[in-house]
Amino acid sequence: MQIIKRILTNNFAPDSLNVTAAKSRPFAMAKPYYGEKWWDDKSVAVVTGANKGIGFEVARELGKCGITVIVAARQQQLGEEARDKIQASPGCSGKIIFHQLDITDASSIIRFASWVKHEFPQGLDIVVNNAGMAFKGNTFGAAEALTTLDTNFFGTMNFTEAIKPSLRDVFSRVVIVSSRAGKSSIIPGQALRKEILFASSKEEIGRLGERFIEDIQNGKHAQEGWPNSMYGISKLLLTVYSRIEAKELEPRQVMVNACCPGWCKTDMSSWGGPKTALEGADTPLWLALRTPSQFVTGKFFGERMEVDV
């Protein structure tokens, strides 16, 4: 199997503070935001993987706020059905639009980003990077790791890079739906754990992703200090990426935060877990709707509280 160089260059783009601590809150879903309302009917949000699960609920709640929501889904029929369902939901006052997006497909990403640039020249207020996948059971191998990282890590990173020029300067927000399954404590090798946590560029974090896959392929991933969790590694690298991206976008005052929705009953979890998808949508929504005075960036949250990576 050939490992393709997965990090896209800047040419990939179609046209080539103050930190406030999060407050703790009870588990149950309530009002999805604090503080004053900053958005209006011209505000625009993109939610990836919005045809079902947590992404669907995030998109639906944003629609109820009156925000224009782009339901991004890789399968047209499922995306259109989700769009219609959200638009018809009680209380939905925002305009709901579908656009195809497969975050593992470069041409799909470019089409999406070009369309956004053309349709929304005023820019995007919110991007929720929710799309993700996980193999079921104990599946493990280099090809499977490539698939997992291609979606959860490289795909999300590439999509964010491509959509970045369309983010509104000053207080737009990027929310990265990661997972506590990707906490750094899953890495048995101390040296490797440090290397990942201290990665300071996209190239560096991208190379670590490629190394994980290569090490599995060469039968030495355990020896090199990696765990057996492909999903965990994809999400850990994603969380570290969000921190790197946050630094890069801070001069534009764009908030970039990662979060874990918690264990939710969705297709991905085979309907296990204590939370509903709507409850899982709570922290992503809370990050998406923060007021400018609650500016926070480069952090990792769960249940509206900052958590260690």
Ligand X SMILES: NC(=O)c1ccc[n+]([C@@H]2O[C@H](COP(=O)([O-])OP(=O)(O)OC[C@H]3O[C@@H](n4cnc5c(N)ncnc54)[C@H](OP(=O)(O)O)[C@@H]3O)[C@@H](O)[C@H]2O)c1
Active site residue 241: no
Judged by CB, which is closer to ligand X: 52, or 193?
52
Contact range with ligand X by CB under 6 A, out of 50-58, 165-173, 196-204, 292-300: 50-58
CA distance 75 to 133: 15
Measured between alpha carbons, how far is 302 from 100 in angstroms, rounded to an integer?
A: 29
Q: CA 257: distance to chain centroid? A: 9
CA dihedral for 269, 271, 276, 277, sign (positive or negative): positive
Write the binding mask 130 to 149 for ligand X: x where contact by CB under 6 A, - elsewhere.
Answer: xxxx----------------
List the one residue from 46, 96, 103, 186 that touches ligand X (CB under 6 A). Answer: 103
- Sequence-distant (6+) residues with CB within 8 A of 196 are 184, 187, 205, 208, 236, 237, 240
The interface region with ligand X, picked from 16-24, 85-93, 128-136, 241-249 by CB under 6 A, is 128-136
Check: CB of residue 223 under 8 Å from CB of residue 267.
Answer: no
Rg of the Cα atoms in the chain:
18
Q: Of 33, 68, 102, 245, which one interacts with ligand X (CB under 6 A)?
A: 102
User: Of 12, 34, 263, 295, which one interacts with ligand X (CB under 6 A)?
Assistant: 263
To ligand X, the closest distance from the beta carbon of 97 in angstroms equals 16
Binding region for ligand X (CB under 6 A) out of 6-14, 20-28, 196-204, 266-274: 266-274
CA dist., res. 21 & res. 294, Å (int): 8
By CB atoms closer than 10 A (0-12, 13-18, 19+), residue 292 is: middle
Q: Which stretch binds ligand X (CB under 6 A): 8-16, 201-209, 260-268, 287-295?
A: 260-268
Residue 270 interacting with ligand X (CB under 6 A): no
Task: Round to whole Å and give the CA distance between 170 and 161.
Answer: 18
Nearer to ligand X, 89 or 291 (CB): 89
Q: Using the rule CB under 6 A, which residue among 177, 196, 205, 288 binds ligand X?
A: 177
Cβ(92)–Cβ(137) below 8 Å: no
User: By the criterion CB under 6 A, which residues form the site for ligand X?
Assistant: 48-49, 51-55, 73-75, 78, 101-104, 130-133, 151, 155, 177, 179, 260-261, 263-264, 266-269, 273, 277
